[in-house]
Structure 1
Amino acid sequence: MFYVNTFWFTKASELVARYDKTNHAEEAMIKITRLRKSICPEIRDEDMQRSLPAWIFVPIHGNNHWSLAIIQIHNDVAMLAHLDSFQGTNDQEAIFHVLRTVLCLIVPIDPDLVQTGIMNVEQQQDGYSCGKHVLQMLDGAAKKESEELDRCFREEGLRYIATLDQVRSFEVVFGIYLSSKLPGPPM
């Protein structure tokens, strides 16, 4: 498991915007490689695919709102999930585009094998507690063993990651619906 800092996604977004413009692609690629090294500085480029952490947690700040992305990498497949306690505030498609672009540039993964999904999480009832929700989701994920996370993601479609029982009357049960696999949430 690995957690990137809160500035990582902002920097990645800027670099992907440059990369998308052909006149800055080479410069952006060099900087994206540096971003990769901020996750795993000790890993050589040729060992990248088999040495990346299986789970990477990315806190995202956009539109004055915090949310969380989870990257799960296994063999040649990557899965991206977005957890947002105030649905619709952060642009999920833009988040997936940035994460997919960075992943495919630093790890030899076929973009068609990068699956994206939404995660249903408890929605905040106010306009200011998103940071608390992200911290609680991170705390719950950190308490799960890596094997348990893998089992949940593969066998159960990540129906849950954690129950957060430290915070009075606040439990979160995650549910992911991979856009390429399932038509929608179960009834």
Structure 2
Amino acid sequence: MAPGNHHHRYPQVKSPLRRQLHAPSPVRKFGLSALTKRNRQVSGNVVGASSLTSDCNSSERNTLDSGLQHYRTDIEVIDVDHDDDDEVEYVEVISDDDDEVEIVENVVAMQESEDKVEIVENVVAMEESEKEESLDDVNLKNGSFMVVDDSRDDPVTDVCSFEAYRKALESAENRTSKLKARGFGDVLRERCRGLLRSLRSFFRQDEEPLVDVRGEPFQSLSKEDVTAVKKAFSANVQNILVTHEKSNIDISVEKLRCLKPGQWLNDEVINLYLVLLKEREAREPKKFIKCHFFNTFFFTKLVHSATGYNYSAVRRWTSMKKLGYHLIDCDKIFIPIHMNIHWTLAVINIKERKFQYLDSFKGREPRILDALARYFADEVKDKNEVDVDVSQWRQEFVHDLPEQRNGFDCGMFMLKYMDFYSRGLDLCFTQEHMPYFRVRTAKEILQLRAE
């Protein structure tokens, strides 16, 4: 509305008044703030420009006509020079009373609304463009999963694991807040899931079939195996049944009879069985974890009852020439512990960085784990010239394990702890399995082959 078009709305002033200059400020009691609020709501909803212009002009005229009727007639209007083509941005109304100064703001609704519509459309277009560009970071080309990582110069193409999927999610987290608000992360996750489902059959063709080993420790014994064990138990006690040449261990009938029900296991049977476990791992390295099995004399040499800890007494037991590997390269190291008339097991769990103690009676012996921690640090320093800080390793007295219910099966429990752990299995057996394990162990010793 041009300045000259609204002079007739006001009474002519008879005498000029001294006026004070005031900065423009919105007057809310005449409804102009409500008009501005309405304009903003319409702009936020991105309505058509023609409809918005019509509503704003109509509201502006109605509000001004109704509001200016309440003005007092003893006021003076200050006209500001404008070009005829310019819009009126505000009208300053000053009362002749200094305590009553009112400023009416006239918003140019059409121009402001059109600007807002254009801004909103630009923002939406920019977000859609950025979203499309970001989603292009995940490409399906020749069955490859490519993720653009800002920290790398080359794309990640490994889909056999979830590393690429993880990097894709990290890439989504680094996007702008606008993309996050529009659900970019959910879209990416869904596309990744679809990709993995579509490629599942492809990867299964390249992978070696997984072998379920959970049933192997409980395989049924044949009648021939049971008959051979019974025959060995009933033979002349002085007869040598088998000889393991590499370890130089002879098993006579008398020694094998410790595997009969109600008997305590002896050193020769235990040590030969541990040798067979290591040979089993060497035959099928992909099926069993890498372990080392110390014999029953190791700990008594390491920690003598009279002289205490003595690393030099066992230093030559683990030379590269003798073993063909270093202990630090193993996942687990098993140490049989004989305490008077009771067998327990200690484990140096290198993979999980902890020292474990397993007692079928759930006993606790912290001094044993302390000695083994000291030994492992000395061993790695001596063989690999590396300082290992084992002070941060955890000591664990395993309680979630099969318990012994009698006074003679502690040795069999100890052997089965090692057998199952070396398979990578949980200790999923009970006292009721001990008669079967005794016959099976005797059969494996007679065949010089652990299964």
Q: CA deviation at 1:131?
A: 0.6
Question: Contact conserved, 1:4 with 1:39, CA < 8 A, in 2?
Answer: no
The runs of 5 or more residues in structure 1 that have no matched partner are: 20-27, 150-160, 171-187
State the Cα deviation string for residues 72-116 of structure 1 (Å, max 9, x = none): 114xx731100101133xx51121121011011112211312321
1:30 has 2:321 as partner = no
Question: Contact conserved, 1:40 with 1:52, CA < 8 A, in 2?
Answer: no
Q: CA deviation at 1:127?
A: 1.7
Q: CA deviation at 1:11?
A: 1.2
Name the CA shift for 1:127/1:42 in 2 (closer, same or farther; >3 Å): same
What CA distance in whole angstroms lies between the structure 1 residues aligned with 2:392 and 2:306? Answer: 19
For 2:339, the aligned partner's letter is G
Identify the match of residue 42 of structure 1 among 318, 324, 333.
Answer: 324
What CA distance in whole angstroms lies between the structure 1 residues aligned with 2:304 and 2:372? Answer: 12
Q: CA deviation at 1:29?
A: 4.3
Identify the match of residue 359 of structure 2 among 59, 81, 84.
Answer: 84
State the Cα deviation string for residues 96-154 of structure 1 (Å, max 9, x = none): 1210110111122113123211111222122221011112212222333xxxx7xxxxx
Query: Equivalent pairs: percent with the same residue?
Result: 26
Instruction: Provide the aligned C-alpha RMSD in A.
Output: 3.3
Counterpart in the other structure of 1:133: 413
Alignment coverage as a number of residue pairs: 138
RCO higher in structure (CA 8 A, sep ≥6):
1
Name the CA shift for 1:96/1:40 in 2 (closer, same or farther; >3 Å): farther
Q: CA deviation at 1:61?
A: 0.6
What CA distance in whole angstroms lies between the structure 1 residues aligned with 2:321 and 2:338? Answer: 19
1:54-133 equivalences under 5 Å are 54-74=331-351, 78-88=353-363, 92-107=365-380, 108-120=387-399, 121-133=401-413
Question: Contact conserved, 1:2 with 1:39, CA < 8 A, in 2?
Answer: no
The runs of 5 or more residues in structure 2 that have no matched partner are: 1-290, 381-386, 436-451
Question: Contact conserved, 1:54 with 1:72, CA < 8 A, in 2?
Answer: yes
What CA distance in whole angstroms lies between the structure 2 residues aligned with 1:134 and 1:98? Answer: 20
Divergent runs of 4+, >4 A: 15-19
Question: Contact conserved, 1:16 with 1:102, CA < 8 A, in 2?
Answer: no
**Which structure has more helix as a fraction of its residues?**
2
TM-score, reference length from structure 2: 0.27
Question: Contact conserved, 2:311 with 2:375, CA < 8 A, in 1?
Answer: no
The DSSP-based 3-state class of the residue aligned with 2:420 is: helix
Counterpart in the other structure of 2:428: 163
For 2:396, the aligned partner's letter is G
What CA distance in whole angstroms lies between the structure 2 residues aligned with 1:73 and 1:140? Answer: 17
Counterpart in the other structure of 1:8: 298
Name the CA shift for 1:136/1:18 in 2 (closer, same or farther; >3 Å): closer
Counterpart in the other structure of 2:329: 52
State the Cα deviation string for residues 35-87 of structure 1 (Å, max 9, x = none): 443896435xxxx57x431111111111311011111114xx73110010113
**Which structure has more strand as a fraction of its residues?**
1
The DSSP-based 3-state class of the residue aligned with 2:319 is: helix
Question: Contact conserved, 1:140 with 1:164, CA < 8 A, in 2?
Answer: no
What CA distance in whole angstroms lies between the structure 1 residues aligned with 2:330 and 2:294? Answer: 11
TM-score, reference length from structure 1: 0.60
For 1:30, the aligned partner's letter is S
